[in-house]
């Protein structure tokens, strides 16, 4: 089934996907989103799955006071929205971090794809399990670690601890994005990062942080 509004540029993006995900993407309609667009609203009915062809998005929730917690980010070549294909409400919101291109696949089309590509059902189950595990780990971190511990986990979970001979560069990361991940204020996170920089553990830049050595368990 051809995608409904595909262009040559979109064809190249779809061709970069895994074969099974290509077939799923071709069942949807291509949509482009500007930076900071809300693609999914938490609590809305879930009727579609999004295959991300270009750009990146964040998955997050907000409480009644407007405080935000970020569960993670998703990049091109992946998909999101699968958690609500049972017809239940969306469990989180999704916002673009940069201009994005997606194909939007209806629940009916996803079911047709699963019937014709049964192996994709295993991929879908594995994806749901990974994301449920990630959410569980995030909840555990929030419950059992202090703010410093949550900051350290956020930094080192990206690519593991750094070593003096093997520093780790984290890009597209800001003090605010870390604060949203750990459930703390931006000011508190900035103070902790500045202290770590003074201690020689990290180097701060514009939307980047270089981990220079393993971060201390306590501060």
- Judged by average pLDDT, the poorest of 2-6, 36-40, 49-53 is 2-6
Together in a domain, 115 and 158: no
The predicted-structure confidence for 92-107, as pLDDT tens digits, reads as follows 899 999 999 999 999 9
- Residue ending a domain, choose from 115, 143, 171: 143
The predicted-structure confidence for 189-217, as pLDDT tens digits, reads as follows 999 999 999 999 999 999 899 999 999 98
Together in a domain, 98 and 111: yes
pTM: 0.69
pLDDT band for position 72 (cuts 50, 70, 90): confident
Per-residue tokens: 10 = 């979109």
Q: Does some domain include residue 13?
A: yes
Residues 6 or more apart in contact with residue 99 via CB below 8 angstroms: 32, 33, 34, 35, 54, 55
Helix (H, G, I), strand (E, B) or coil at 120: helix
Per-residue tokens: 169 = 């560069």
CA distance 49 to 62: 22
Domain span at residue 158 reads 146-211
Q: Does some domain include residue 47?
A: yes
Per-residue tokens: 199 = 């201690």
């Amino acid at each position: 089934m051809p995608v409904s509004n595909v262009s040559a540029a979109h064809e190249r993006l779809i061709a970069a996907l895994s074969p099974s995900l290509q077939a799923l993407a071709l069942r949807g309609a291509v949509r482009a989103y500007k930076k900071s667009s809300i693609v999914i609203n938490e609590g809305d009915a879930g009727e579609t799955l999004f295959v991300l062809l270009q750009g990146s998005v964040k998955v997050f929730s907000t409480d009644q006071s407007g405080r935000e917690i970020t569960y993670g980010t998703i990049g091109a070549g992946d998909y999101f929205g699968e958690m609500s294909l049972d017809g239940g409400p969306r469990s989180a919101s999704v916002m673009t971090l940069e201009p994005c291109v997606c194909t939007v696949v209806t629940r009916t089309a996803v079911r047709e794809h699963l019937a014709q590509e049964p192996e994709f059902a295993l991929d879908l189950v594995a994806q749901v399990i990974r994301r449920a595990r990630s959410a569980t780990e995030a909840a555990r971190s929030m419950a059992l670690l202090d703010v410093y511990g949550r900051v350290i986990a956020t930094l080192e979970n990206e690519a593991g601890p750094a070593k003096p001979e093997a520093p780790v560069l984290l890009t597209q990361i800001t003090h605010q994005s870390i604060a949203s991940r750990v459930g703390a204020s931006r000011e508190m996170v900035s103070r902790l990062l500045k202290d770590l920089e003074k201690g020689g553990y990290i180097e701060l830049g514009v939307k980047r942080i270089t981990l220079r050595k393993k971060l201390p368990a306590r501060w």
